[in-house]
Structure 1
């Protein structure tokens, strides 16, 4: 399965995000984004990230989202929605086209033959009835 080019991925993501955020009221507010940034820095998130990934979480992008939101305050609500969708679409496109576990594992088109192997009565230690 081949990956689309960046422009195609951005267009696909924009189309999807327009469905997710149908009105300007549906995009996250600046307070919500600031809360997300703060929650990234709490001890629980720090420990969870250390445990899962062996490093502290990267909170900078969450702060950038908050600052971007503040820069949109003077725009008309529909322009704000369009700007938010464009930014998120690019973020998702980068994420989709970047490295992931799918680069390591091949997707099977059909299941393996004879897998799993059926367990026989003999393996279970069941004797046939005579």
Structure 2
């Protein structure tokens, strides 16, 4: 991988940090999703148990990225961020559960 970095004139250390993910952080988020506190907050806000599938998918995605060159990682992360933004706009809001007080 060192040869790849040396031969690419547009490569920067900032790109390596920006277009990478932390396995430790992804694993922690996945475990945190199943804790009582995480589930209680979601139940209070949205009225249902939290689905942790997205955190598991994020952990698997992070594992896939580790073996890819920076160009492919960048493309994969940008695609995932666009998909995540689209899904977030379709998610249920806490305003769907609670009524606004006057």
Is residue 25 of structure 1 aligned with residue 23 of structure 2?
Answer: no
Compared CA separation, residues 36 and 88, structure 1 to 2 (3 A): same
Per-residue Cα deviation, 1:38-59 (whole angstroms, up to 9, x for no partner): 1111111111112221211111
1: CA distance, partners of 2:24 / 2:75: 19
Give the number of the structure whose residues are more often helix, by fraction: 2
- CA RMSD between the two structures: 2.2
Is residue 77 of structure 1 aligned with residue 70 of structure 2?
Answer: yes
- Rg: which structure is higher? 1
**What is the number of equivalent residue pairs in this alignment?**
80
Secondary structure at 2:71 match in 1: helix
The TM-score with structure 1 as length reference comes to: 0.53
2: CA distance, partners of 1:80 / 1:24: 9
2: CA distance, partners of 1:87 / 1:39: 22
Query: What pairs up with 1:1-130 in 2 under 5 angstroms?
Result: 23-26=15-18, 27-96=20-89, 98=90
> In the TM superposition, what is the alpha-carbon distance from 1:100 to its structure 2 partner?
5.9
Secondary structure at 1:49 match in 2: helix
Secondary structure at 1:23 match in 2: helix
Displaced runs of 4+ in structure 1, greater than 3 A?
none
